[in-house]
Chains A and B, each alone.
Chain A
Amino acid sequence: MRETLRFLLGDRLVEIASCDPTLTVLDWLRLDQRLTGSKEGCAEGDCGACTVVVGRLDRGALRYEAINACIRFLPTLDGCQLLTVEHLKGADGALHPVQQALVDCHGSQCGFCTPGFVMSLFALWLNEDAPGVTRIEDALAGNLCRCTGYEPIIAAAQRMYGLGQRSQERFATDRPRIASRLAALQDDATLALGSRGSRFYAPACLAALAELMLAHPDATLVAGATDVGLWVTKGMRRLSPVIALGRIEALRDLADEGDHLRIGAMVNHVDLRKALAGLSPQLDELMRRFGGEQVRNAGTIGGNIANGSPIGDLPPALIALGARLVLARRHCEERSDEAIQGDVERAPLDRFATLAMTGETDALQRRTIPLEDFFLDYRKQDRQPGEFVEAVLVPKLPTDAFFHVSKISKRFDEDISAVCGAFFLQRDAAGRISEARLAYGGMAGIPKRAKAAEAALTGRIWDEMAVSDAISALASDFQPLTDMRASAHYRLTVAGNLLRRFLIETTQTGTATRVAGLLAEADHG
């Protein structure tokens, strides 16, 4: 076990022997380091004023991502590089092209959101050649500006590529050096920080995770912290122990296994989008609108599912696809929880490393369940003590199946669904519906299938009459709530109208049905 947190702040190695497991990166920067360039605008990962860029090794390659410092726990930066707005100017004081472009285009007014925009654009600059406007908007979806109306910021995002040679710039030329410095920080030891009552673990392998989970069945598992972060900043909760999953490479595996994809629980929404886009353009569009870019970088498929939100956007889509969940835990028949607890507390430093080397998968016992069975009730899931979500198995769509997903929210980007509807239809040789899976978010306490509506469709020809009957049946499937996102009436109306949209999109291909996003752009050619 290792008891020192290690990461790079810019070029400087930071080693911290003791810190609160839920100390946010933003508080550490502002209060401890007195680096006040990054701002707190909301402390919930929704405004982007705190945006920083984190470099991490992804299978040996250095990868830079914009994230929200306000809800990221500092110890989860272990083995990473942290870059803030203070790191961008050159040694001679010259502004970075991203910064210069914003000045040239009058991209700041009050300036408070500006460091966050700078860092989001900086990540774009690092990672991508001059992108189109849609991609720029997506990259900035997690940054709110109340002054400019965004036009000059978009202009700056285009201009910055003309202000310097990206490949010659110091952040590019530094990459090999930073990558090797980060490589030197990687090890197989579990990082363990803090003391009893304020404990943080970051295991480096599945076996160590499984061991920790058995010892601490009440531990809070942290993936991207895009939800758990708010338990701390908004709920003022003290979490202990915290087990962070970010160091376990095996959980980031994404494999094509023939008729389905096996997606590791820690695959983030950016990588997930690339994988799911291959299944359906509808999924591409859903994932494009998932949170803001910072949340898509930090958030994971496992977190989105395991957190059990009734309005998470992935579960309806995955349920409609017929996804299955792989849950894992440590084999533990012969040992009591107390014994394991004692083991972990007294664990020799190399114990988990040894486990990792002696074939960790043997140490795990797994079960696979249909995703929809995981959600038992509002915020209650079928997860046994010591169990964790390891992977999601997503079937590929049969070529003759119809699939659809729509997310309805007040604002297109970076909003939470009022209603999310995902539909899968399979027809037999006679054109009758042989299988219908209609899954909804926002309509009940959990993501849920509309069984009555499915029954109304099954055996029918896919037409207006069948859809009308399914819509009537929805009223017995759901009694949605009225809240700040939408009224019950609107939710039920839209839930039905989405079936109409599905029908039109599958049967009247010339008819425009979307006003925004990739699918609308496809409509308009």
Chain B
Amino acid sequence: MADARKRLDPESTIGPAGAARPHDSASKHVAGEAVYIDDIPEPAGLAHACLGLSGIAHGRLIALDLEPVRAAPGVLCLLTAKDIPGQNDISSTHRHDEPVFATETVLHHGQPLFAVVAETRDQARRAALLARAEYQEAAPLLDVAAARAAGGELVTDPLKLERGDVAAALAASPRRLKGSMAIGGQDHFYLESQIALAIPGEDEDMFVASSTQHPSEVQHMVAQVLGVGSHAVTVEIRRMGGGFGGKETQANLFACVAALAARKLRRPVKLRPDRDDDMVITGKRHDFVCDYEIGFDDDGHILAVDTVYAARCGWNADLSGPVTDRALFHMDNCYFYPAVRARSEPLRTNTVSNTAFRGFGGPQGMVGAERFIEEIAFATGLDPLEVRRRNLYGGSSSSDGPGRNVTPYHQTVEDMIGGEVIAELERRCDYKARQEAVRAFNAASPIIKRGLALTPVKFGISFTATWYNQAGALVHVYTDGTVMLNHGGTEMGQGLHVKVAQVVGQAFGIGLDQIKITATTTGKVPNTSATAASSGSDLNGMAALDACETIKARLTAFAARHWQEEPAAIAFLPGRVQIGAREITFAELVQAAYMARIQLSATGFYATPKIHWDRKAGRGHPFYYFAYGAAAAEVAIDTLTGEYKVERVDILHDCGTSLNPAIDKGQIEGGFIQGMGWLTTEELVWDEKGQLRTHAPSTYKIPVASDRPRIFNVDLLENAPNREPTIHRSKAVGEPPLMLAISVLHALSDAVASVGGHRVCPRLDAPATPERVLTAVERVRAEVGR
């Protein structure tokens, strides 16, 4: 490995933070040598589990005949709720609403009823199909409208954000309008489906290799279902084949069932659902219905916003509370609302339990905000970008008027650079001239119409569950000067491990080839938070740096003693340590320190400062800082079929001072395309019986290579260090770029609007499939013709 890296980039083996280093596993990825859980050499005696799923969406389970399953070839044992020694509950928010196996009531199609364990995976899959279940079916509530019609049961407490007197402000507004928008969900479609491998140990010990973003939670859940202490369970993950939020809580089920089976059989057990089962069982991005009423003036200034964000949460709460909260936290995007009321409505439905997904409700909130802007633009005849500009939060300078920088949750925006980012992107992408070119093209083209839109992003960084904003690390320095790095973050492809290694390399002045990146394990760093909310490098980078600083302080004190120098004369430089006039290698210093009995291992810890949040009052400072960006998208639509092509995208994104520009660019491009998929071709369809009909890539269409824009200019905002003292002044980058794709939805809308001379707001809902685009074209034409 070390050799491969040297070959690849000979100049930068000493890799300070800020360098464009390749992903630490890149050479292994391309050689097929990176080990995912299903690739781990199988332990002797391995058995395979398969889940037996409900065939209805809602009802009572009257009888479950598993005898044919038990009698099937190779079957070793069965597991139902009765076989759970601990609790039959894996509710991540401790609401006791998420059984491992359904008992009397079935709440969604595909809910696990039992598991079968067999000698081979094929035998387990075949056996699971032999179960005979009898149900008393009830009408399933499948979407927001049905849930509301049935009384609107909520899975968790709703949130209300309020500032000013919205009723009075609406009444006083010269103009007002009402509308509603449907915003679709999204399957994560991580290429590696869920998987867990459980290996029983002595006593009650259980080792679980789990493809999870949250090893500590898997550890707690496994302990809970096994009825043992957390100290008996070790959870490990070297890397996931993609996560995107889909392995924040959704890995729990698979890990727990594997562990239950391993406990029962006293053999190692692996559980890997196939793609269809994975998609049918696991939660997805929440789809929302956003109802809104807006007050504004003829100049396009927003005066009041009153809105309800209703979400299809599925059969249990899971993370729907914080997800719907984050939707409200982003219903402002970059815009100041003088009076605002926003309410969430997290509805229970008989569908998969929707969960975390890159952006965590924020994207849906922001899509609403951009719809408000669009409505006003069409109502006033102003260009949407002009309406955006007129409503931006004020900067820290008070020239924008006092109080124009307070959010609906009463946090003051202290780092607003959205206006600058918009202006700079507008210049770089030549927005004005291209808008004119698009209009000219459309005038001459009766069938194909082009559209252009520029939308900004402001995304709040920190877990809104404030206690999650902590992280730990464990750094060992060995006597040869090499370093083993452990931290609580997990690698799902985002490049967290290489970024944290760069931080450690910079701290000690050593190259990445001297640092071993290890699997994340609860046995080394305990009580970790999920690698989520874009927080991975912010939290774990700081925790690792803290550990390094502890070791450096010991080494510095030792060196000062040993070589009779002032501590200030000792510096860790690239490839060497300076001690007064003398320079030695890091390895030499470490060796000397070891001989002098200096501890060469340390833990590190970090807790994000400044943040607090009072959910009941709807007030606080939930975000440490904001990440900004903007994107301009140009599309072409076919008004006969609704087909479209995203032709060009320009992006300017704020990563603060990037820890690794190559990794960050990858996050921006990948996040954008994933967001584009969400808003365009990725459509989840449930039939009237509550069966998901889009449960494999043959029916669920994520973007492919030809869907990316041919012209794709992606820049990181230059000279923009984070104003807060984050790790090397960088900014989180995992989620914010996904929302840059809202520009595509609005470019499509702009193209649709051209068929009505831009007089009618297309009100294009998401995902904007070719069918929705064509429907919008027909509707605009009909309204203009009226």
Q: Which residues of A contact B (CB under 8 A)?
A: 30, 34-44, 46-47, 49, 84-86, 88-89, 93-95, 98-100, 102-104, 106-115, 118, 133-134, 136-138, 140-141, 143-154, 233-234, 236, 406, 408-416, 418, 483-487, 490, 493-494, 497-498, 500-501, 504, 511-516, 520
Contact = CB atoms under 8 A, between A and B. Distances in A.
B239 A111 contact: yes
Nearest to A118: B30
Contacts of A98: 30
B378 to A, nearest CB: 24
Contacts of A140: 704-705
B242 interface: yes
Contacts of A504: 447
14 contacts: A84-B32, A100-B8, A103-B30, A104-B8, A146-B188, A150-B704, A151-B712, A410-B683, A411-B681, A414-B704, A498-B641, A515-B643, A515-B644, A516-B645
Given A99-B31, A146-B190, A109 B704 contact: no
A137 B706 CA distance: 5
Contact of B274 (A34, A43, A154, A501): A43
Contacts of A114: 29-30, 34
A149 B702 contact: no
Given A413-B706, A490-B774, A497-B640, A146 B674 contact: yes
A240 B274 CA distance: 24
Interface in B363-410: none
A85 B32 CA distance: 6
Contacts of A514: 448, 638
A484 B705 contact: no
Contacts of A104: 8, 22
Contacts of B4: 93, 95
Nearest to A114: B29
Contacts of A95: 4, 27, 30-31
Contacts of B193: 41
Contact of A150 (B22, B662, B708): B708
Contact of B640 (A115, A486, A498): A498
Contacts of A138: 706
B276 A109 contact: no
A409 B778 CA distance: 19
Interface of B: 3-4, 7-8, 22-23, 25-36, 38-39, 41, 125-126, 129, 188-193, 239-244, 274-276, 445-448, 492-495, 636-638, 640-645, 662-663, 665-666, 669-674, 681, 683, 685, 693-694, 696-699, 701-708, 710, 712, 714, 769-771, 774-775, 778
**What is the predominant secondary structure among interface residues of chain A facing chain B?**
loop
A171 to B, nearest CB: 16
A146 B30 contact: no
- For the complex of A and B, 3 pairs with smallest distance between CB atoms: A37-B32, A110-B493, A112-B241
Contacts of B445: 511-512
A143 B519 CA distance: 28
A111 B493 contact: yes
Given A39-B36, A44-B697, A408-B770, A109 B681 contact: no
Nearest to A119: B32
**What is the predominant secondary structure among interface residues of chain B facing chain A?**
loop
Given A106-B26, A110-B192, A114-B29, A151 B774 contact: no
B242 A37 contact: no
A151 B708 contact: yes
Contacts of A37: 31-33
A42 B241 CA distance: 13
A84 B769 CA distance: 36
Contacts of B645: 412, 515-516, 520
Contacts of B38: 30, 36, 39-40
Nearest to A406: B641
B432 to A, nearest CB: 23
A501 B642 CA distance: 13
Contacts of B662: 106
A74 B642 CA distance: 42
Nearest to B673: A149
B697 A144 contact: yes
A414 B681 CA distance: 12
Given A85-B32, A150-B673, A515-B643, A106 B666 contact: yes
A84 B30 CA distance: 12
A386 to B, nearest CB: 31
A515 B450 CA distance: 10
A146 to B, nearest CB: 5
A35 B674 CA distance: 31
A34 B710 contact: no
Contact of A49 (B22, B191, B769): B191
Contact of B638 (A145, A148, A486, A513): A513
Nearest to A136: B705
B109 to A, nearest CB: 15
A290 to B, nearest CB: 14
B20 to A, nearest CB: 8
Nearest to B770: A410
Nearest to A288: B706
